[in-house]
Each structure stands twice: as C-alpha cells, then as structure tokens.
Amino acid sequence: MKINTLLYTGKQGFVNIFKNKWYSMASIATIAACLFLFGLFYAILVNFQNMVMSAEEGVSVTVFFEEGTTREKMEEIGEKIKGRVEVSETVFTSADEAWAAFGPDYFGEDYQEGFPENPLAGSDNYEVFLSDVSMQSALVTWLESIPEVRKVNYSEVTANTLSGVNLLIAYVSLGIIVILLAVSIFLISNTVSIGISVRKEEINIMKYVGATDFFVRAPFVLEGIIIGLIGAAIPLGIIYSIYNYALNYMTQRFTMLNSLLKFVSVDEIFTVLIPLSLALGVGIGFIGSFSTVRKHLHV
C-alpha cells in the first residue's frame, strides 16, 4: 500500500506540472534565470576573491632591529613571530644579503668598490607575511612592544583597503543571494497556488473520504521540488559552457594576464557550484510549495 501511495504521489507530481505547463515553464524559467545569475555571480566572486587573496599574500610587515641585537636574539624573536596566528610566513634577510641583492641594481656589478663597509649594516630584518590582513594592526602593535625592535614598516592603507573589499564582497553576496531566493520562492508559490485552485474540488473530496495530510500535500511538494531541480540543472549547463569558453579565451588571447591574474579552474568552480545549485533548486521548490500548501489547504 505504501509503495502504491508513493507511486501515486510521484505520478501526480508530474501530472500537476503538465496540467499547469505554462505556469510550470514560467517558474522553471525564472528559477533558471535566478540560479543562472547566482552561478555567474558565484564564478565571478570566486575569481575576485582569489585575486584578493593573491594580493593579500603579498602584503607584508618588515621588522628592523636595534643596533647591537645579536643574531641569536633575532632568531629567538623570529620564532615568536612565526608562532603568531596572524603570520603565514617569515623571511629573514641579513644586512649582507640585502647589500648583495640591492647593490648590483644601483651600482652595477662593481658595487663593492668605493664601499669599504656595508652601507646597509644594521638593516637585518624579518619580512613577515600575514595570513589575514585585517589582523595587521594587532600584529604591528605587538611587534612595536618588543624592546629589540627598532622600527616596523607596514602599509595601513593597503591592509584597510583589502579588508574593506572583503567585507564589501560578503555584504553584496548576501544581498544578491537573498533577493534571488525570495524571487524564486515567490514564483514557486504562485505555481503551486494555481495547481491547488485547479484541483480544489478533487482535494476536498479526497479530504472528505479520509485522505491523510501527506497524501494530499505530497504531489504539490514533489511538483515544487521537480520544478526547482529542473530550474537548477538548466543554468549549470549554460554556465559551464560560458565559463569554459571565457577561461580559454582569456588565457589564450591575453597571455600577459596569466602571470598577473590566477583564474580559478572550471573543476574548482563546479565542484562547489553543482551541489550548491541543485540544493538551492530543491530547497526553493520544497519551501515554496510546502509553505503554499499549508497556507491554502489548511491540512
């Protein structure tokens, strides 16, 4: 009996879609459009975040030491810096290494002539790369409190700008997702409402003869889920083709960008986008149809 009920429910769910085909197609098209925009926005967002993260990886704080600080003390401080949660990597550069790196650039291969001593003596330093630029201020405050530290070079503007961009991305993402979901749920609700009004007499008869709440509700809920699933599957195929084409076009046509910008691969995008879009489609269909059925049937 339970199998027959499930089969009937499934059959009615599909029948409802074809009975109200124009409204069903409108709902599928709207959900597809919403999730297409969502998927497109997600692909752009992930690439933009990847670029911001690449920029953040280049943000560093340079720590210089007081004259007379021993190498052992510098190494000890370096270990403490590495242990900080804000730090992803530290690079130590001695005064001799700094002179060997910069001397040839400014004075040519014979840069040591005319300089009996290293002009960069006392410039031993740690270049500290951050795991999160928003934590730069806390790190700098701590570094400046160390007695052996003479000076800390950092860019507050760069850190604040990148932190602001990350915050803006989060707010914009949330706003767009909420709007798209609300529009999709509204359309699913309208489609299910029409289906209920068309079958109102049949539903009343079913309730009078003792049909359970599940038996009455299930076809409409399944209808919403199917519409949501189809509406999610269509834009995935379109976005895959567009993104794959755009990625190949950008990397082949603008080869100079490859060294400056790192685009996220198709596989990385769709590993997350496929389950996310399908879950959103099913969720939109379920929420829209279930809430509408409760409201209109009162069962």
Given the structure tokens 């967002």, which residue do they identify? 45
Task: Specify the pLDDT at position 299.
Answer: 47
Between 31 and 254, residue with greater pLDDT = 31
Between 187 and 2, residue with greater pLDDT = 187
Task: Specify the pLDDT at position 266.
Answer: 85
What's the fold here for domain 60-154?
Answer: Alpha-Beta Plaits (3.30.70)
Where do the structural domains in the chain lie, given as residue ranges? 2-55+161-297, 60-154
Residues 130, 133: Cα–Cα separation, whole Å: 6
Look at residues 130, 139, 132, 131 and name the one whose alpha carbon lies nearest to residue 163. 132
Residues 158, 164: Cα–Cα separation, whole Å: 10
Measured between alpha carbons, how far is residue 100 from residues 19, 107, 119, 236 in Å? 80, 11, 11, 54
Residue type for position 217? R
Look at residues 127, 292, 114 and name the one whose alpha carbon lies nearest to residue 220. 292
Does pLDDT of 140 surpass 70? yes
* 3-state DSSP assignment of residue 17: helix
**267-277 residue pLDDT tens:** 888 888 899 88
